[in-house]
Structures are given as structure tokens and as C-alpha cells.
Chains A and B, each alone.
Chain A
Amino acid sequence: MDWAWIGDHLGAILGRTIQHIQLAGIALTVGFAISFALALVAIRWRRAYAPISGIAGILYTIPSLAVFSAFIAITGFSILTVEIPLVMYTLVILVRNIVAGFDGVSADVLEAATGMGYTRRERLTRIELPLAVPLIVAGLRLASVSTIGLVTITAVVSDTFGGLGFFIKERPFFLTEVLVGAIPSILLAVLADVLFSRVQRLLTPWSKRVAQPLLPEAAT
């Protein structure tokens, strides 16, 4: 471990860490917005669920290196080349967990709500959404961990991006720099996981435990 190198590059490490968080944050925010809209469509029109979930699942299986390279041809070296694939990879996790969250609301609860005179919109926002929160947040947890990992790959697009991945790619045979890229990236992922668990517990004091997300492989 070359501590001197680390000491000389503290500023760069901090800068890349912040960039890492930004790239992941943008992907998660946009991915969540799109996924939520898709999930609402899938809930409203059940038939749409299979194609939406299927396409998102296929997108998820495409090797990330190939996708980033392909988007360079389309969107050049802009941030879109980084964010479009990152967003793409969040979809399957988020859509399936959001839909599962809504589906998990028990039929009795829905019947009671309708029978007592909730309008469709009131029921969705005041009953179904809050009850779907544990699985929605669980989906965000999983998506954040996977996105934070993927951000390192964006280093292949150009040295402008990559977050902490920049260090891994810069000199792959210089162990110190590889570790300086990898370890903080792992810590960020763990931090995000813990953070979302806390958020869920805060948002759902009524729920006894932290919900476990549906993994993309397990979902069909």
C-alpha cells in the first residue's frame, strides 16, 4: 500500500467520491421516476405488466461494458452515455418491487377501504401507497447497491466519468490505486444499504421488520 500516493491525491479521491454519489443519485432518481410510472401503468392495466417487466428484465441481462460502448456511438461522451444505461439497469429491480409492493396490500384492506367510501384516488394515495412503501424502499436499497457498483464501469466511457472507478481503470496494475477505487465504492454501497433500511423503518413504524427486496432473478 502506497500511503504517500494516497496522501498526494486526497483531493482527487474526495472529488471522485462526490462524482460517484452524483452519478448514482441521478440514475436512481430518474430510474425511480420512470419505474414508478411504469408500475402504475402495470397495476392499472394488468396486461401491461408482463411486457414491461419482461423488457426491463432483458435490458438487465445485457453486459454493461457493451451497453456503455454502444451508447458512446449514439450520445458521444456526454453524461447521457453514462446515465441512460445506469437508469436502464435500475428498471427491472424497481418496477418489480413497486408492483409487488402494491400487490402485497391485502384484499380485505382494499375492500374495507372501498366499502367505507374511499374514492379510487384516495385509496391509492392514502392506503395502497403507504402500504407499498416497505417493498418500494427495499427495491431502492437493492437498486442503489447495484448502481453504485455499476458507476465504476462508467470509467470506460471517458476519464470525465467513472466516479471512483476512474482510479481502478487508470493504472490496473497499481494495487494502491485499484484499492482506492474499490474500497470507498464498497463503503458507499454499504452506506446506501444501511441508509435505506433506516429510511424504511422511519417511514413505516407500523411494520415489524425491514422488508426484503425481490431480486431480479427471483421475480418472474
Chain B
Amino acid sequence: MPELASSAATVEFRHVTKRYDRGAGSSSGTPGAVNDLSLTVPAGKICVLVGPSGCGKTTSLKMVNRLIEPTSGQILIDGVDAATREVNELRRSIGYVIQQVGLFPHQTIAHNVATVPRLLGWPKARQQERAEELLGLVGLDPGRYRSRYPAQLSGGERQRVGVARALAADPPIMLMDEPFGAVDPIVRERLQNEFLRLQEDLAKTILFVTHDIDEAIKMGDLVAVMRTGGILAQFGPPTEILTNPSSEFVAQFVGTDRGLKRLSLARVADLPIRPPVTARPADPAGQARERMNADPFPYLLLVDEADRPIGWLDQHDIPADGVLKADRATATSPLLNKRTTLKDALSLLLDADVQAGILVDRNGKVQGLVTAGMIFDWFREDVRDVDRDRPVPAEETAAAAVRA
């Protein structure tokens, strides 16, 4: 679908302020106010605005498509001030998804999806074609769904249609205001994953509002944590927010389990995987024992002819001579794949008899070994990496050098 691989645009907030003057004296604390917001979202990235209710995240979002006009400051889209553009032309060039979806109940699904192309005056046939293409893209069979009405769809299906509708005219920017907030957790998880997969191809510039820090960390290339009064508390990649919260507020907002949250960002594929010592049933015992003793991990993994794991053997399970026997193998460890998050991996390891997970490929073939120690090592490495990437003030560097 080459048509979908369109350009994305840079979005820059430059000293954007929005004040709601509801009577004197309540200037900065008014819910929804935004105070001198400056940040840049590079083209093709997802930037999540997250914070408690009333922190101005939705206001910030709506200032991009000018549903709300800033009191002062500018929002530049590819360097052009949004305030200088004709407002409806601007809005038609920005995809917009809201929590309650706001599908038009009197229009069919295909008609809903083709909304912006219709406003832009595309030929009828092309509108139809585009609507069907997008329904397919968000996983709804056009044949089944095109002629239905929104009331005939489930919540999750409606959200998909909402995303399809926002993408219809191939906008370089998408604004998503709690787009998955109204569906149950299982559907939300699925929609999030599907959307991330979609975004790999689309590479739109996306501003995404949520109050859920877990969603922010999962969805964002960049996370902007906002606090009441419309103040930007911290702006950076999720790992940095989790590793180096810039203030007590951010630390509390991301929660005491931020270590675990970081683990949920990384996957088994990020670990330096090494293969376990394996053997097959009926292999000579002596040779197998030798190989096991040479390895730091004190167990031998028994595998079948297709290299699928059967179970572990320890010192006592390996006879002095003769051959290895499958019936001595103890219950096998959790099976992991490359996409398993480190958080899930660790959780499975805590539950297992042998403190090691087995990385297998799609066919169940053994690829490597994952231990809790490897996860801890990765965690410490990662902290150092983030520290290195962060611009450090000169005196702090000096202090670090002295300590070293």
C-alpha cells in the first residue's frame, strides 16, 4: 500500500499558553490551562501526553487542530504556524480520534470512514475504494462491515472504525485523545498492539493523550508528563522517564513499580542470549556430564530430535556411565519467545522450578537460556546507558569521575 506510506510532519509547540479566566485570582490552577508549553515532536514519532486530569493534556492536543485557540504562543506544523491556516483545511489535514469515537450514527461504516475524503471532494468511487482499503487495514472485513451502522458494532469495532476514519485522507498528523479509553482492558491491549503494528508502516506523527502511565510508556516514542497547571514536568523517551524521573512529581506519577515498568518495555530479544548445554536421550552420559560441568549453568537440557525441550537433568540425574534417560528429566521451565517482555519473563521465572526460561523459536526449537541474573544484569546496564545518553551538567560529571 504505497499510498499509505505518506509523509509525516513535525509538530512544534513554542511557548504555548492557554488561560481560562474564570473570575479573578484563579489564573494558573484552572483545569485545562496550559502554561508555556514548548516541545517538539519529530516527524513519524508517537508523543504521548500524560498526566492527571486537569493537567491540560487534552487542551494541548485540541490546540493543534484549533478546537481550542491558544492564549499565546505558536504551534508549528512543519514550520508553519497553525494559526495562519484556514481552520477547516487545517482540520481536514489532521486525523482526529476521540475516546467516545463520535461515529456518525446515521451513516454506514464505509460512509463514516470516507468522511474527510468526502469533505475534500474526492470522486465517489475513490472514496468507496479508500474506505474499504482502510477497513481492511484496521482488521474489519469490508464485505461484512461496510454497510452496517455504528449501533450494530461492538465498542472495539467502533474504535477501529474511528482510527480508520482518522486515517482516511492520509493525514501527516494524528491526534488521539484517549482513543482506547472506553473499551475493556483485553480489547484495549489488542487495539494498542494492532495500532503499534500499523504505525510501523504508517509512520505518522501522532499526539496521543492518556491518563494511564502504562499506556503512555507502551505507546510513546516520547512521553510528555504534564502536571496540574499545564506545566510540562518531563519530556523524553519512556526509558528515561522511568530511569531518571526529573522530579518527585514524575517519580510518584510513574509509580514505585517503575523498575517493573521498564522491564515491560524490554523484550527477551534485548538480552545477550546464550545457548544452554543440551543433549538427547540415549546420548552417552559421561560426555554429557563433562560438557555440563564446563558450563556455568549447572543443568543439562534434554531435547528431542527436533531440538524441542523435554526437561532438565542435574548432577544426580546423570548416571556415572551408560546413556541419558528421558524419564529422569524434571518438569521443564517456562518457554519464552523473542517478543516476551522481560517483565513477563521474570514473572514466569519466579514461578518456575528451575530458575531459567527457555527461549524457543516458532517451531518450539531451543534457541537459548534466560536466567533472572541475565535480566538483573540487563537492568543495570540499561540504567548506565540511559545515564550516558542524558546530557549531564559539568559538575555532576566531575563528581562522577571522582567517585570512579
- A-chain residues with CB within 8 Å of residue B105 when the two chains form the complex: 109, 131, 206-207
Q: Are A206 and B151 touching (Cβ within 8 A)? A: yes
Q: Is B65 an interface residue (CB 8 A)?
A: yes
Q: What would be 28 A-B contacts, judged by CB atoms less than 8 Å apart?
A: A106-B100, A106-B102, A108-B98, A108-B101, A108-B102, A109-B102, A109-B103, A109-B104, A109-B105, A111-B67, A111-B98, A111-B102, A112-B102, A112-B103, A112-B104, A114-B67, A115-B65, A116-B91, A116-B116, A116-B119, A117-B87, A117-B92, A117-B116, A127-B104, A127-B106, A131-B104, A206-B150, A208-B151
Query: Can you name 11 extra interface pairs (CB under 8 A) apart from A108-B102, A117-B87, A117-B89?
Result: A110-B102, A111-B67, A113-B102, A115-B91, A115-B96, A115-B175, A116-B165, A117-B91, A204-B106, A206-B105, A207-B106
- B-chain residues with CB within 8 Å of residue A109 when the two chains form the complex: 102-105
In chain B, residues 89-119, which have Cβ atoms closer than 8 Å to a Cβ of chain A?
Answer: 89-92, 96, 98-107, 115-116, 119
Q: Are A118 and B88 touching (Cβ within 8 A)? A: yes
- A-chain residues with CB within 8 Å of residue B104 when the two chains form the complex: 109, 112-113, 127, 131
Give, as a whole number of angstroms, the nearest-CB distance from B168 to chain A: 9
Give, as a whole number of angstroms, the nearest-CB distance from A106 to chain B: 7
Q: Are A131 and B88 touching (Cβ within 8 A)? A: no
Give, as a whole number of angstroms, the nearest-CB distance from A205 to chain B: 8
Q: State the CA gap A217–B131 with chains docked (Å).
A: 46
Output the nearest chain B residue to A118 by Cβ-Cβ distance.
Answer: B119
| Per-residue contact bits, chain A 29-56, to B (CB 8 Å; 1 contact, 0 not) | 0000000000000000000000000000
Which residue among B67, B98, B105, B150 has the maximum number of chain A CB atoms within 10 Å of its CB? B105
In chain A, residues 82-116, which have Cβ atoms closer than 8 Å to a Cβ of chain B?
Answer: 106, 108-116
Residues of B within 8 A of A (CB): 62, 65, 67, 87-92, 96, 98-107, 115-116, 119, 149-151, 165, 175
Provided the pairs A112-B103, A127-B104 are in contact, do residues A117 and B98 lie with their beta carbons within 8 angstroms? no
Provided the pairs A108-B98, A206-B149 are in contact, do residues A117 and B106 lie with their beta carbons within 8 angstroms? no
- A-chain residues with CB within 8 Å of residue B101 when the two chains form the complex: 108, 112
Q: State the CA gap A219–B149 with chains docked (Å).
A: 30
- The A/B interface has a contact count, at CB < 8 Å, of 68
Q: Are B106 and A206 touching (Cβ within 8 A)? A: yes
Q: State the CA gap A10–B150 with chains docked (Å).
A: 52
Provided the pairs A130-B106, A131-B106, A208-B151 are in contact, do residues A112 and B98 lie with their beta carbons within 8 angstroms? yes
Give, as a whole number of angstroms, the nearest-CB distance from A39 to chain B: 19
Q: Is A119 an interface residue (CB 8 A)?
A: yes
- B-chain residues with CB within 8 Å of residue A112 when the two chains form the complex: 96, 98, 101-104
Q: Are B96 and A116 touching (Cβ within 8 A)? A: yes
Give, as a whole number of angstroms, the nearest-CB distance from A35 to chain B: 22
Which residue among A117, A122, A205 has the maximum number of chain B CB atoms within 10 Å of its CB? A117
